[in-house]
C-alpha cells in the first residue's frame, strides 16, 4: 500500500513540476496576453515548481524502502554497490559542475525571468542549455545511489521533460530576442557544443 502511495506521489509531483516549470520559461508569450507582469508570474511558477520537485526527490529516496509491490525489475542492480557509486560520481560530478556553471553565467535569470536581462555569455557561448544538461542526469545519479533499477528507468522520463523545457524556452527566446537569438542558435549547439570549422563558424 505504501509503495503504491509513494509512487502516486512521485508521478503527481513529477507532472506538477514539469508543467509549472514549462510555464515559467514562456514569459514573452504570456506577456502578449497579460503585459509585463508576465515575467513576475513566470518567476512565481518557477518558485512554486520547486515544491513538487522537492517532493518527487523525497519520493525517490522513499522508494528505497517502499518500492512498488509488483516492480517487474530486480530490486537492486546485479553488481556491487561500489560500481553504482563510481557511476554516480562519473555522471554526477560533471553534471553538477555544468549546472553550477550555467547558473553562474545566467545570473538572476536562473531563478526568475527578467525582461531587462540581455542574452547570456560564458558557457552559453558553447551550448544553449548547460543547466538542463547538468540537471537532468541528477535523477539517474539518485537512482544509482538508491540502488534501484526501476528508478533508473523512470529517470528517462525526466530526460524527456528537460528536453521539452528547452524546446519551449527556445520558442520564447526567439520571440523575446528575435533574429539575435536565431543567429545564436546557428552558431551554438542546443545541448552539446557545435564543432568549429575554421572561419566557417564564428
Domain assignments of the chain as residue spans, ordered by start: 2-68+75-193
- How does residue 133 score in pLDDT terms, banded at 50, 70 and 90? very high
The half-sphere exposure of 115 on its side-chain side, counting CA atoms within 13 A, is 14
Of the candidates 100, 116, 91, 96, the residue with the CA atom closest to the CA atom of residue 39: 116
Strand partners, 189: 127
> pLDDT of 135-176, one tens digit each?
999 999 999 999 999 999 999 999 999 999 999 999 999 999
pLDDT of residue 202: 31
Kindly tell me the burial class for residue 10, based on how many C-beta atoms sit within 10 Å of its own C-beta (0-12, 13-18, 19 or more): buried
pLDDT of residue 40: 95
Cβ atoms of residues 181 and 117 within 8 Å = no
Cβ neighbours around 76 below 10 Å, total: 12
> pLDDT of 27-52, one tens digit each?
999 999 999 899 999 999 999 999 99
- How does residue 123 score in pLDDT terms, banded at 50, 70 and 90? very high
Cβ neighbours around 194 below 10 Å, total: 13
Name the CATH topology of 2-68+75-193.
Answer: 1.20.120
What average pLDDT score do residues 56-72 get? 93
Strand partners, 127: 189
Indicate whether 119 pLDDT > 80: no
pLDDT of residue 199: 41
| Cell output for 20 | 509549472
Q: Which of 12-21, 43-52, 191-200 has the lowest mean pLDDT?
A: 191-200
Give the integer Cα–Cα distance in Å for 32 and 90.
44
pLDDT of residue 197: 59
Indicate whether 200 pLDDT > 50: no
Give the integer Cα–Cα distance in Å for 115 and 15.
27
Residue in the block written with cell 520564447: 172
Amino acid at each position: 500500500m505504501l509503495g503504491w502511495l509513494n509512487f502516486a506521489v512521485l508521478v503527481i509531483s513529477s507532472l506538477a513540476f514539469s508543467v509549472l516549470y514549462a510555464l515559467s520559461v514562456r514569459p514573452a508569450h504570456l506577456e502578449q496576453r497579460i503585459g509585463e507582469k508576465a515575467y513576475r508570474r513566470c518567476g512565481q511558477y518557477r518558485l512554486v515548481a520547486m515544491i513538487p520537485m522537492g517532493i518527487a526527490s523525497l519520493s525517490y529516496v522513499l522508494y528505497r524502502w517502499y518500492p512498488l509491490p509488483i516492480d517487474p525489475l530486480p530490486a537492486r542492480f546485479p553488481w556491487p554497490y561500489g560500481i553504482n557509486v563510481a557511476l554516480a560520481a562519473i555522471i554526477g560530478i560533471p553534471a553538477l559542475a555544468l549546472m553550477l556553471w550555467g547558473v553562474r553565467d545566467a545570473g538572476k535569470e536562473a531563478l526568475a525571468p527578467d525582461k531587462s536581462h540581455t542574452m547570456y555569455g560564458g558557457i552559453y557561448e558553447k551550448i544553449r542549455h548547460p543547466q538542463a544538461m547538468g540537471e537532468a542526469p541528477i535523477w539517474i545519479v539518485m537512482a544509482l545511489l538508491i540502488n534501484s533499477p526501476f528508478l533508473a528507468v523512470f529517470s528517462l522520463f525526466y530526460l524527456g521533460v528537460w528536453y521539452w523545457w528547452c524546446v519551449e524556452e527556445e520558442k520564447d527566446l526567439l520571440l523575446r530576442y528575435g533574429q539575435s537569438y536565431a543567429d545564436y542558435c546557428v552558431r551554438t549547439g542546443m545541448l552539446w557544443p557545435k564543432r568549429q570549422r575554421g572561419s566557417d563558424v564564428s
